[in-house]
Structure 1
Amino acid sequence: MAKSIPEQIRKQVDELVKVLNQKMSKDPHCFYTTKFKGAYLYLDRVDYDVTTHICRLKFTGRIDNWEFAIYLDNVRLPQVTVSAWS
């Protein structure tokens, strides 16, 4: 298990989120953002300056396999592990 997310993985994730933003919304005031802290990636949604926490992902050493916790109304749900789909 990785102690922190390598820079190369961070760049790949940021690029994936950039593509997601381009496909999901044409409104420049509505977008997803990433924050990295240690082995965690925090995904937030910004809608006209209102930030909503979406989920926290834990890097497990591979870009296609993360543990995650989903936030609903800023309450964190139990953590589960998933693998990326092809």
Structure 2
Amino acid sequence: MVTSTMAPAWGPVLAGSKAMVLDSGGNMCRAAIVAREEGVPAVTGTRFATQRIKTGDTIRVDGNKGIVEIIKRAEG
């Protein structure tokens, strides 16, 4: 999931995600805490991920290092 922010009600959506990338927040924001609780890799506070990552792009998220890498751009 790549989004600008996360509402508390999105917890169930996050639980079904393989990873989370958030434009806002930090290590102690609610989204980061929920991601850790669910074992979902997360990078928060990117400021511009939603502008750079497009629907269909394949990305790699390393929550330990805070790295988001675009592996393959979506075709089209």
Q: TM-score, normalised by structure 1?
A: 0.29
Q: Point out which structure has higher relative CO (alpha carbons under 8 A, 6+ apart).
A: 2
Give the greater-gyration-radius structure (CA). Answer: 1
